[in-house]
């Protein structure tokens, strides 16, 4: 199956409301499959970091100047801080929050290791086991897994999946998270508090507060 022509296969499995997520998923998975070994992990989690940027910017009021809140050298610039903020804003549930932290820790392990590492190695496999089990319940998992397996079977120059049996589950986990994070960002309006502080009124109540 040609990856670019897989629309019909996915649409036969998925309800209309996640078609946008499915489109995003194809792009994410294909980008990760171009990488090898350590690169796939670093690129995948970097893509997730970018998706969280998009989600948080969609949820927060627009900046009054240039956007600096989420820059790398700011307190909210790290992946861990973005995950914590998304959780405190109610944008992700505890299971997703834990999975994001697990992926962050795996990324750190791969980035700092000087020895060869694989996702199938016990420390990383064990850390991601629960996250993968949770993600398997997502309606996007099965159709994406089918397409991914067919795509890998057609590639003669992709021995990495055989060398690291954990790669496929990792790609699917990242794919699903990025797809739904970015789809949520498109559907989200900025959160509006019920009041704000002003010099003139002291406390100004908003009639358009987020419920």
Tell me which architecture the domain covering 3-205 has in CATH. Answer: Up-down Bundle (1.20)
Rounded mean pLDDT, 99-122 = 94
CB 110 within 8 A of CB 164: no
Rounded mean pLDDT, 109-121 = 91
Residue 184: name the closest of 59, 15, 43, 98 by CA: 59
Residue 158 dihedral angles phi and psi, to the nearest 5°: -125, 65
pLDDT the model gives residue 146 = 84
In total, the chain counts a number of residues equal to 211
Instruction: Label residue 3 by pLDDT band (50, 70, 90).
Output: very low
Tens digits of residue pLDDT in 21-72: 666 677 777 777 777 778 889 999 999 999 999 999 999 988 888 878 888 7
Sorted by where each begins, the domain ranges of the chain are 3-205
CB 189 within 8 A of CB 57: no
Alpha carbon 29 to chain centroid distance?
Answer: 11
d(CA 6, CA 2): 7
**What's the pTM?**
0.82
């Amino acid at each position: 199956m040609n990856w670019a022509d897989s629309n019909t296969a996915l649409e036969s499995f998925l309800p209309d409301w996640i078609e946008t997520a499915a489109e995003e998923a194809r792009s994410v998975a294909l980008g990760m499959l171009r990488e090898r070994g350590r690169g796939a992990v670093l690129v995948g989690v970097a893509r997730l970091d970018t998706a969280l940027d998009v989600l948080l910017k969609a949820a927060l009021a627009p900046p009054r100047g240039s956007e600096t809140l989420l820059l790398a050298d700011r307190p909210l610039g790290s992946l861990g801080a973005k995950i914590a903020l998304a959780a405190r804003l109610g944008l992700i549930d505890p299971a997703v929050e834990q999975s994001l932290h697990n992926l962050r820790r795996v990324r750190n392990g791969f980035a700092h290791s000087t020895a060869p590492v694989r996702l199938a190695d016990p420390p990383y496999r064990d850390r991601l086991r629960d996250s993968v089990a949770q993600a398997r319940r997502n309606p996007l998992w099965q159709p994406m897994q089918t397409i991914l397996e067919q795509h890998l079977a057609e590639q003669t120059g992709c021995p990495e999946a055989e060398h690291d049996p954990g790669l496929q589950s990792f790609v699917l986990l990242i794919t699903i998270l990025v797809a739904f994070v970015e789809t949520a960002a498109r559907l989200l309006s900025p959160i509006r508090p019920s009041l704000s502080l002003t010099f003139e009124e002291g406390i100004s109540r908003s009639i358009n507060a987020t419920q």
